[in-house]
Amino acid sequence: MEQLKTEVLVVGGGTGGTAAAVQAARRGAKTLLVSEFPWLGGMLTAAGVSAPDGNELAAFQTGLWGAFLRALAQRQPGGLNHAWVSFFTYEPAVGAAIFADWVKALPNLTWRWGHRPRAVLRQGDRILGVDFEHFSVRAQITIDGTELGDLLALGEVPLRWGWEVQSQWQEPSAPRSLSDPQDPLYPIVQRYPVQAPTWVVLLQDYGDAIAPLIPPAPIEPPDFSTAWAEHGAAAFLNYGRLPGNRFMINWPQQGNDYGEALQRLIGSNADRQDFWQAARWHTQQFAHFIQTQLGRRYGLASDCFPKVPSSPGGGAYALYPYYRESRRLIGLATVSECDILPAVEAQVAPLPLNSQGEVSAIAVGNYPNDHHYPGFELPLASRSLRWGGRWTGIPFTIPYEALVPAAVNGLLACDKNISVSHIANGATRLQPVVLSVGQAAGMAAALCLEQGCAPRTLPVRSLQNALLQDAIAPLAVVPCFNLLPSAADWVAQQQQYLDYPERYPLDGNAPGNRPAYQAEPAVRIAGLYHRLAPQQYQLSCLIDNKPSVLALVTLHPTVEAQLKTLPTPAAVVASGSLNLSGNWLLVTDIYINES
């Protein structure tokens, strides 16, 4: 067996693992990234979820997440604003090419794909590296970037899988009991230990041509009869509309979420392959149903994903499922639902403090919270607010201690496998958050090498400063709605809240005059502006010489302030990106029309 040595070993080429490897190498660490598949990026690419959720506001587009969006905007023909589930949709191959190019640009980063971990090398309480089928790697720091926390299991690192009761962290949305049939959540708890994954498929609109027939899968046909009854066929397809008249099918309402016998995911390799095939067939059957119901103008987008022998995916089907939940580390701290809910009369969650009383935030998220259980709705404590004319989520942060095992050394977690409760995972699992967590893990690993310390003794402030001051992709660690990375005082304001958490504004708005957002508008539309209600804005205008009414939404704080204060009604000129799927104009500039 080949014997390798490296400073940082990252196992898993998913969203967090890719970010960790890139950041560790950019900081100067000799890094080895080992993945199972030939595409890096996980949820954002190989798993097909090319309509990411969360961290959409301009102030939260920082770090590798912000860099990824900017690279997509430069590379994706047709732009990114096509669907109504996300402001950013793109071809998965474009995203995969971006991550591959980032890796290729780093001479101290080696990437090997086609390999799964077989064993974790451990001596006492220290992780020393990982064995693969044909080679063994010894590393000073090992990072678990696998989609299902495989290193945690192989290394016998204490972990969680499944639900926790309400009394453990006083989470308002958790079940009171896991075994009491009288508990309202009992049916969900018994059937689904974790959230259901989805095997994504991409469809193509063939227009006047006839698409190839999508064959039925060799399974009992599920009942998809009401999949889009609430929304209608057009809105169903436009949910995940991609450039080039393609559609990402990741539909939770009697669609291709698949949650049967989820324990197979943490069983043997044969068990996991069995789940994969079943999930892939379920999605094939859904695609067949869509074509049967909506017509042969819709077919498979057959050139989207590479063919890989170890996967039943490829072509129009993602390489593996979009996992919403993993084995979860038992870390030095655990993010619970209470940590992501807003403080009293606040629009932000409290900043996390470690045992020394320091703010320990190292990544920002704002996704509302969302759980997927086919056939069931899980009532969750609200953590949403309206901002910029639309619903978004309450900002929260991830503490560094959630990446660090409580019981072992030499290991960091960096994907959905961080130390988080089952309930809170519904908000922390999203692509931008995981990308940022991975970036923080990679930076932490490199800093441990520089400072000669273990992850558990790394001073969190040194990590925060390194992330804020990174030369290529500086990452926000404290969320403010109006604090853009372009602001001259961006780092100083972030550091102020780390030093004085009591100054962190409850409304999430940093004081002082904020710089205007600069953007190249895609379109400019004149019309009559109406403010129908707080955070509900509308533009009556002409689109293709036809009277139209558009919702006005924005991701930018200066525009958000304008929309709240413009006189109503008012003749205006609005600039931005027109999205007919969502029937909105994503506004980058608006002013009174004096002509």
Instruction: Transcribe 486-527 into DSSP letters.
Output: TSTTHHHHHHHHHH-GGGS-TTS--SSPPPPP----SEEEEE
Q: Name the band, by pLDDT with cuts 50, 70 and 90, for residue 1.
A: confident
Residue 165 inside a domain? The answer is: no
By the 10 Å C-beta count (0-12 exposed, 13-18 middle, 19+ buried), 210 is classed as exposed
Residue 442 inside a domain? The answer is: yes
Partner residues linked to 205 by β-bridges: 298
Residue 470 inside a domain? The answer is: yes
What is the Cα–Cα distance from 557 to 342, expressed in whole angstroms?
Answer: 20
Give the list of residues 6+ apart from residue 390 with CB closer than 8 angstroms, or none: 535, 551, 553, 584
Do both 127 and 265 map to the same domain?
no
Is pLDDT of 201 > 70? yes
CATH number at residue 548: 2.40.50.140
CATH number at residue 384: 3.50.50.60
What is the Cα–Cα distance from 411 to 143, expressed in whole angstroms?
Answer: 6
- Give mean pLDDT, residues 543-568: 95
What is the Cα–Cα distance from 246 to 345, expressed in whole angstroms?
Answer: 43
Do both 338 and 282 map to the same domain?
no
Do both 61 and 153 map to the same domain?
yes
Cα 391 from chain centre: 17
Residue 105 inside a domain? The answer is: yes
One-letter amino acid at 564 equals K
Do both 496 and 356 map to the same domain?
yes
Angstrom distances, CA of residue 540 to CA of 322, 461, 524, 529, 567: 39, 50, 13, 7, 15
Residue 133 inside a domain? The answer is: yes
Residue 349 inside a domain? The answer is: yes
- Give mean pLDDT, residues 69-75: 97
- Give mean pLDDT, residues 266-287: 97
What is the Cα–Cα distance from 481 to 348, expressed in whole angstroms?
Answer: 10
Q: Name the band, by pLDDT with cuts 50, 70 and 90, for residue 159.
A: very high
What is the Cα–Cα distance from 223 to 334, expressed in whole angstroms?
Answer: 39
- Give mean pLDDT, residues 497-525: 84
Kindly state the tokens that stand for 556: 């930018």
Is pLDDT of 250 > 70? yes
DSSP reduced 3-state for 142 = strand
| Domain boundaries, position 214 | 201-300
Residue 311 inside a domain? The answer is: no
Q: Name the band, by pLDDT with cuts 50, 70 and 90, for residue 589.
A: very high
Do both 288 and 380 map to the same domain?
no
**What pLDDT is stored for residue 515 in this prediction?**
61
Residue that has been written with the tokens 């291709």 in this structure: 256
What is the Cα–Cα distance from 42 to 39, expressed in whole angstroms?
Answer: 8
Question: Do residues 201 and 544 touch, judged by C-beta distance below 8 A?
Answer: no
Do both 280 and 337 map to the same domain?
no
Do both 128 and 209 map to the same domain?
no
What is the Cα–Cα distance from 595 to 593, expressed in whole angstroms?
Answer: 6
Residue at which a domain ends, from 503, 536, 555: 503
- Percent share of the chain, pLDDT over 70: 98
Do both 252 and 386 map to the same domain?
no
Do both 361 and 426 map to the same domain?
yes
Question: Do residues 118 and 131 touch, judged by C-beta distance below 8 A?
Answer: yes
**What pLDDT is stored for residue 520 in this prediction?**
65
One-letter amino acid at 65 equals W
Greatest CA span in the chain, whole angstroms? 76
Do both 420 and 343 map to the same domain?
yes
Residue at which a domain ends, from 470, 503, 536: 503
User: Using one digit for the tens of pLDDT, what is the confidence trace for 202-227?
Assistant: 999 999 999 999 999 999 999 999 99
By the 10 Å C-beta count (0-12 exposed, 13-18 middle, 19+ buried), 482 is classed as buried
> What is 318-357 written as a DSSP string?
-SS-B-S---EE-BSS-B-HHHHSPPTT-SSPPPPB-TTS
Do both 443 and 544 map to the same domain?
no
User: Using one digit for the tens of pLDDT, what is the confidence trace for 294-328?
Assistant: 999 999 999 999 999 999 999 999 999 999 999 99
User: Using one digit for the tens of pLDDT, what is the confidence trace for 37-51?
Assistant: 999 999 999 999 999
**What pLDDT is stored for residue 343 in this prediction?**
85
DSSP reduced 3-state for 477 = coil
Residue 308 inside a domain? The answer is: no
Is pLDDT of 512 > 90? no
Residue at which a domain ends, from 249, 265, 300: 300
**What pLDDT is stored for residue 197 in this prediction?**
98
Q: What is the total count of domains within the chain?
A: 3
Do both 411 and 464 map to the same domain?
yes
